Every structure is written in C-alpha cells, then in structure tokens.
Amino acid sequence: MATSTGGGTNLGHARAFNRRVVLETIRLHGPLSRADITRRTGLSVQTISNIAEELAAAGMLREEGRRQGGRGAPALDLALNPEGGFTFGLSIDHRRLVVVLVDLSGRQRHQSTIAIDGLKPDAVLPVIARTVRAMAAKEGAARERIWGAGVAMPMVFEDGAPVAFGPSSMPAWQDFPITARLAESLDMPVLVENDATAAAVGEQLYGVGRRLRDFFYIYVGVGVGGGMILSGHPYRGSAGRAGELGHVVVDPGGRACACGNRGCLERYASLSAAQAALGGLAEGEAQVDVQALASSAPALGDWMDLAARHLRTASVIVSNLLDPQAIVIGGIIPEPLLAGLMRRLAADGIPAGPRRIPILQAEVDLETPALGGAALPLFAGLAPALSLMSKPTNETGLAGRPPPA
C-alpha cells in the first residue's frame, strides 16, 4: 500500500477532518484518481467519492484528463483548482509593507511593496485595506473564495497583539490589537505569526517540508528566529513563544544582548551581526541593508565562519531537545551568504545518537516573509487538524469561515 499522508477515519463526525485529509493528499501527491486517494488515505471508496463531489461542487477540486492503461474505464484525476481559494499574505516591518495574493495552488498572483517608514499602525491599516481590495478586484477573486489574510512580523504575539523581547524595531506596534483591527478593516479572517514560524509554514506547504513531518526552521534575518513543525503542524508553545532560538546562549559570557543575557546566537548569526562585521559599526547603529550584504559576501568570510560555528551549536541543542527529521535554514538572508553558511554547515549534519540530522537549505524563496504569511490561511484550511476530530462538522474550520463542504 502506498504511504499514507496521515490517514483518515470513516466516522461520521469526522467529515471535516476527512475532507482535509483528501485535500492534503491531493496537494502533496496530485493529480490523483479516486482509487489512488483511497489507497493513500485508507478511506472507503464511497467516502472518497462523496468528499470529491462536495469539494468539486465547492470549486476546490477539478477533474483533469483521463489516464489510459489498465483494465476498465480510464480514471479521472482530481487536482486542486487554483481558482478555488485565495489568500493574502502581509509582511510588516519598520520600513515596508509587502502584500501578496496567492491562489489555492500556492502560486503568487500579485505583489505590492509599500514604504511605511514612520507610519503609525492606524495609518498603515487603511493602506493595507486599499491594497488588498485593489488586488482582489484586479484578479477577479470573489469574496466567498478569499480564505483570509496571514500577517508575518518580526515579533511574537500574545492574544493577537505583537510583543517583543527587549528593545523592538517596531515599538509603535507593541500591544497593538492587529488581529482584531485588521480583521474588521478587511472583513475577513486574519491570522498572525512571527516571521520565523510563518516561514516554516511556507516551507511545509511548498518547500522541503513537503517531504518532512518534523523539522526546525532557523530564520536568519535582522535577528535570528526559529519555527517548529512537529507532526506536520506548527508548534507555537503555550504563549506563542516557542522556537525563540535567537536568544539561546551559544557563547557563555560573550557579546551582550538586548535581552539581558550574553552570548546569544542572535549576536553572531544575524544580518545585524553581519552588517556590524562588514562596516565596523555597533549593531543597531544603522539599518540592515540586505542588498549591500549580498554584494559584500566575499568580505564576510570571517562572519560566516563564526556564524556557522554558533549555528551548529544551536542546532545540536535543537536536535537533542526535539529530535527533528531535519534542520532547515532560510529567511531573508541573501543567497550568497546563505550558500556560504550551508557549505560550512551541511557536510556532515548534526550527530544525534546513531544517526545524523541533516541541515537543509530552505527551498521557498522568502525574500519577503509575506509568502509565509499567505501560507497561513492555506495551511489552516488544508492541513488535517486532529482537533477537528472532537468538533461537530458544522463548526467553523478556518478562523470563523466554514470548512469546505
């Protein structure tokens, strides 16, 4: 029997879960015939037929050309219908707003980058609303096909509002109720996430995570963050702070950190540290210039040596605590610097008892974390969630929007 995506159940109260199992199976392996889906999920033929009919009627699946070969009538393949759903991804930092529109297949339809340096949150929200509405109108995305918006920011969230450890590059957003305010402004479900976890979710949907159930994502940006995918789902912790790898101490008594400790990973492996190494200025004295760092990669060999050494130390800690299938490294770090780090890190992997955990380069181009943000509503609507097993099928499945039916 072919490998199952996660397996479904034929219990009547689990229809929502089974629908997501079918969608996830088609997303990962499609186009597939109904018989192929039955073999991969363990669901009955009748259950698959019913679900396929429901999802096709909802516009989420479409039938593709007949496959020849074998006995009997040729099978019709089922595939995700790109027009069956759309999501918006937002990346907000202290300098710019990036908005992307993504369809159900994960293809980016539109992107807009807007300077917001100096704007307060109340001034940014109308800009977001105008941009989102213009994109939806240009694409002809019907309101009922828009699943929601995902927001990625270089902060963590508590109760839908951004918070920060120590000094923040976005103090005006501290404790701002962005989830509620933006959902009201856009009239759609809004999911918020720190940029590292958003990147991990994007990688799970479109990148190396398609082949993994458990991995830890190291996000190298202005700081260093971490995102965890455990059993195929993002793990956020009790207060949304899980994965804060940047403040793991890798050099006891080392460089002072804004969090109050010394020797945190962020002080060595971040783009802020790279820029300080390049220009001689103390971290934080100048905004990080990603393009300048990309063109200066040959001069940053010493920084890459030191960053890789401390990233390896942090990876050993992660591997011993979580035992992931792999550690993935990505973020907004320029390709020349990421390639240099990977050459120093990836040769032997991380020792973990009798095996070695591989260190992999992210496959998703996350030059802007907005793509990870756009993946949040898609992941919430597609990935099988065990919590659905205990919910009636008439409950909402995606931040207030009814599940596919």
How many alpha carbons lie under 13 Å from residue 79 in its C-beta half-sphere? Answer: 11
User: For position 400, what pLDDT does the model report?
Assistant: 33
Determine the Cα–Cα distance for residues 76 and 80; give it in Å rounded to an integer: 13
Residues of the chain with pLDDT under 70: 1-13, 66-75, 164-169, 284-285, 348, 352-353, 365-368, 383-405
* Tokens at 136, concatenated: 């939806």
* C-alpha triplet 369, 99, 228: angle, nearest 5°: 25
What pLDDT does residue 397 have? 35
Q: How is residue 195 written in tokens?
A: 């940029």
Of the chain, the end-to-end C-alpha distance in Å amounts to 28
Q: Tens digit of pLDDT for each residue in 142-189?
A: 888 999 999 999 888 877 777 766 556 688 888 899 999 999 999 999
pLDDT of residue 244: 86
pLDDT value of residue 134: 96
Both tokens of 255, joined, read 């460089």
pLDDT at 386: 46
Helix ranges (DSSP H) in 166-263 = 178-186, 195-206
pLDDT of residue 388: 41
Q: Between the CA atoms of 236, 240, 243 and 247, what dihedral angle is there, to the nearest 10 degrees? A: -170
| Domains in the chain with CATH codes | 12-80 (1.10.10.10), 85-199+369-379 (3.30.420.40), 210-361 (3.30.420.40)
Residue 269 backbone dihedrals phi, psi, to 5 degrees: -110, 5
| Residues across the chain | 405
